[in-house]
Each structure stands twice: as structure tokens, then as C-alpha cells.
Structure 1
């Protein structure tokens, strides 16, 4: 019960935080990592890419990281900037599997940065990583620094995202690529404030209205930032439904039940109870992979 009260208190504080940057940081401090990642092998915080046969969030989240890496064209010896990196699971994956030369990570949540820094030390990758606190709209790097800039399910938070696009173009080398995996409405007619599902509360409270627009506007903002021939492609059919179905059943998973207190499980089950409402609201949300090239 005490843990539920703490979570509720953090949520209320987040909702009533006026500053958008502080609100996002507090959003990622609501849930205890011990609960959020219970009975999981990774610390991804994305909805995942649910191709046929995928049944768990860790495999789906790995797949989404691969989709973004493919879109960005990550290759050996690239210098990569990952903005809003969470705990950095994708970065360690790309260092191992794509053999990128170095990953710089920027994040506004201190405990995410600290966790990624610890992991880099533990895995002997401190010399190939640089995780630090910072703002996506004021990147603390010089012009023409990176081969790739990526944002894995984070750019919808950036205040505003269009300023991030401009900064990404500045820090990319000529020929460099920006790639994002991002959440937007299916059309500009979707009313953000009308979202009622508890699990989708982040849409209402941590996506600024400046970022609430469809694929056409997203593409146009990339053009206005200076990117050549940007592409904004929906992968909605491979994301939302798989995530919803998995999360709706998570509290029934024996491995999860073995490590999470009954009161917390009960609260989570209630949070995810109204699946009909969630399905209706998820139908209004798009999920895109966007790519832009610097001339």
C-alpha cells in the first residue's frame, strides 16, 4: 500500500509540474525500476516491434532498436548521438552488434544517465560511450560532429521537437542521417486532451501540444529544418497492439507475480483494466520511423 501511495504521489506531482522539461524527467521517475523491469532481461522503455511470433516485450524492444538502426544506416566506425537514450540498452546492442565506433548519449533524467554510465564501466565500454545530462533542443556538441543522430521513442517529449530537428542537422556531418522512432496522432483532428486511458496518460501529460501533429507535418518540419528527402513511415500495425496485449496480461505472468508485491500487482491490473477504451484510443495514435539526410 505504501509503495502505491508513493507512486500516486509522484504521478500527481508530475501532472501538476508546469515546466515541460521537468515534467518529462519526473514522468520517468514515477514507477520504481524494480517494478517496471520485474521479470525482464532488458531495461528498454519502448513499446517494441511485434512481428509474427514475438511474445515478450524484451524481444520486441530489441527488434524496434534494430529497426531504428537499419533506418539510420548504422555501420562500423560511425560516431552516433542517441538523444533520450533511457537506460541505453539499444546503445550497448549497437556497440556489440553494429560495431559503431562510439555512442554519445544525452538524457534529462539523472538516474538514467547514472545507470548507463555504470553499465559502460561494468562492460568495459567506457571508452566507447559518453552518457551525459543535457537537453535535446540545446545539444552540447559542435557542428559537424556525428555520422548519425537517433532518438528511440523519445522525440515526442522534446520541447519542441522542431528545435531538436534543427540541432540534429547542425551536429550532423554532411551526409549524416537523423532517424527517429516516434509517437504522433494519426491525424491533426485527434484531441490529445481527450485521451482517458491510464496507461496512455503520458500522451496527455508529457507530449507538448507543439509536437501533436500528423505524418505530413512531421515530414514538413524535417524539410524546414534542412533535411533532404525526409521519409516518415508508419509502423503502427507492428507496435501498439502487441504492446497492449502483452501489458494487459503482464500481472498474470507467474514470473512477474513471484517478484512483485500483491498490492502493486492489484494496482497495475486496475490501471490496465479498461482494454476496450485503450483499443479505441490506440487507434488514434500512429507510430512512425522517420529519416532525414543532411546534404
Structure 2
């Protein structure tokens, strides 16, 4: 009982702040990474790209990172800005494969920045990385310095996303590209308050009203910011569907649950206690790839 009260208290503290960046940081720092990722080979926290034959979130997470690299058109001499990089798994994967020359990353979570810096140093990649705490809507860089600006499953939290678009346009070189994988509603008419399950409560609490719109509005906002060739394409059949199959399969498998850290298993079981509601809410969400070019 005490553990449950403490967990609820942390969740309430996470959302009871008027500052959107603080709210997002607190939500993503609720879980202890040593327990959250105890059964994982990586620390990807995106929903994954579940191609045929993909069976675990590590492979799916890397597949989504590589999908973004392909969409962005990475080249070995590119300098890239990754905004909302999590633990930096995708950035190090891109560097290992020489997809890019150097990556700069911004995150609201000091814990994530520390983890990414430590991993980069352990792999001898610290000279090709610059991970720091910062804001997506006030990028601390001069104009026209990046070949690519990317955001992997993070831009939904930027307050607002349209300000990020304007900042991305500013720091990109002429002809540079903004690319992202993002989560949006299938219909902008769906109230955010619809999302009542613990698993999807972040859409109720940590997505600004200004970011709650469909694919058509997304493309229009990119054009309004000054980009050209805006393309917003749904990939939900390869992201949300595979994600749902994997995690429901895990929660329904007692042997698989035993492989998790005990505390993580308890939290996971609680989050997924109402799979019918999660399925209903999932059917309201889209997952999209985003591509736009600076003139």
C-alpha cells in the first residue's frame, strides 16, 4: 500500500506545475532507468518501427531511428541537431554507422543528458557529440549552422511545436531539412481529455493544446513557418500496431514478466490493467513521419 501511495504521489507531483518543460521532465524521470531498462540492451524510448519479423523494442527502437535517418537524408559530412534525444541511443547509432559527422542534442531532462554523455564517452564518441539541457523553442545556436534538425518521438511535447518549427528554420542552412517522427491525433476534434488510461495519460497532461491537430494542419504549420515541400505521412500501421502487439503479449505472459525488474513489472502491470481502454485510445492516435525543407 505504501508503495502505491508513493507512486501516486510522484505522478501527482509530476503534473501539478504550470511550467510545461518541468511537467515533461518530471514525467519522463518518474521511472528509474536502471529498473526500466533492466531487461533491455538499449535505452530507446520511442514507440518503435515494427517491421515484419521485429520481435523486441530494442530492434524496433533502432529501426525507427534508422527510418528517421533515411527520411532526413543523412550524409557522412552532416552536422545534425537532435531535439528531445532521450538517452541519445539514436545519435550514437548514427555516429557508429558514419551516417553523420557530428550531432548536437538538446533535452529537458538532466538525467537523460548525463546518461547520453556517459554512453558517448564509453564508446569514444564524445568528440562528435554535444549533449546539453536546453529548450526546443529557444535553440541556443546561431542561424544557419545545421544540415539537419530532427526530433524522434518528442516534438509533441514542445511548447508549442510551431515555435520549434520557427527555430528549426532559423538554425538550418539554406536547403537544410527538418525531419521528425511524431504522434498526433487522427482527428483534431478528439478531446485530449479522452485519454484516461494510465498508459496514455501523458497525452492529457503533457501535450499542449496548441499541438493537438491532424496531419493536414501539421503540414500547414510547417509551411506557415517558412518551410517548403512539407510532407506528413502516417506510419501508424508500422508503429502503434506493433507496439501494442508486443506489450500486450508481454503483460499476458507471466514468464516474460519475470524477466523484468520486479518494480518495473508491477508498474507495467498497473499501466496495462485495462487493455480494452488502451486499445480504444490507441485507435484515436496517429504516428507520422515529417519532412520539410528550408528554402
TM-score (norm 1): 0.95
The 8 Å contact of residues 141 and 171 in structure 1, kept in 2 or not, is answered as yes
Which 10-residue stretch deviates more, 14-23 or 122-131? 14-23
The 8 Å contact of residues 38 and 256 in structure 1, kept in 2 or not, is answered as no
Aligned to 2:274: 274
**1:150-186, Cα deviation, whole Å (9 max, x unpaired):** 0000000000000000000000001100001001000
SS in 1 for 2:71: helix
**Tell me, which stretches of 5 or more residues in structure 1 are unaligned?**
none
Map 1:80-119 onto structure 2 (within 5 A): 80-119=80-119
Q: Distance between the aligned counterparts of 2:130 and 2:267, measured in 1? A: 37
Aligned to 2:141: 141
The 8 Å contact of residues 195 and 281 in structure 1, kept in 2 or not, is answered as yes
2:258 pairs with 1:257: yes
Aligned to 1:128: 128
Alpha-carbon offset, residue 273 of structure 1: 1.9
Q: Distance between the aligned counterparts of 1:227 and 1:87, measured in 2? A: 29
Which 10-residue stretch deviates more, 241-250 or 274-283? 241-250
TM-score (norm 2): 0.95
Alpha-carbon offset, residue 68 of structure 1: 0.5
The 8 Å contact of residues 36 and 264 in structure 2, kept in 1 or not, is answered as no
Map 1:49-198 onto structure 2 (within 5 A): 49-198=49-198
**1:47-94, Cα deviation, whole Å (9 max, x unpaired):** 101111111111111110011111100110100000000000000000
Which 10-residue stretch deviates more, 5-14 or 269-278? 5-14
Alpha-carbon offset, residue 34 of structure 1: 2.3
1:145 to 1:3, Cα distance in 2 relative to 1, 3 A: farther
Which 10-residue stretch deviates more, 9-18 or 177-186? 9-18
1:148 to 1:26, Cα distance in 2 relative to 1, 3 A: same
Q: Distance between the aligned counterparts of 1:163 and 1:114, measured in 2? A: 26
**1:76-123, Cα deviation, whole Å (9 max, x unpaired):** 010000000000000000001143110000001001001111111111
Alpha-carbon offset, residue 225 of structure 1: 0.7
| Over 6 Å off, 4+ runs | none
Q: Distance between the aligned counterparts of 2:202 and 2:229, measured in 1? A: 31
Which 10-residue stretch deviates more, 113-122 or 212-221? 113-122
Aligned to 2:220: 220
**1:235-282, Cα deviation, whole Å (9 max, x unpaired):** 011111211222223343646524522x65244213202111111111
The 8 Å contact of residues 149 and 179 in structure 1, kept in 2 or not, is answered as yes
1:61 to 1:281, Cα distance in 2 relative to 1, 3 A: same
SS in 1 for 2:97: helix
Aligned residues: 294
**Tell me, which stretches of 5 or more residues in structure 2 are unaligned?**
none
Q: Distance between the aligned counterparts of 2:215 and 2:254, measured in 1? A: 36
Which 10-residue stretch deviates more, 160-169 or 97-106? 97-106
The 8 Å contact of residues 194 and 281 in structure 2, kept in 1 or not, is answered as no
The 8 Å contact of residues 197 and 277 in structure 2, kept in 1 or not, is answered as yes
Q: Distance between the aligned counterparts of 1:136 and 1:203, measured in 2? A: 18
SS in 2 for 1:66: helix
1:112 to 1:264, Cα distance in 2 relative to 1, 3 A: closer
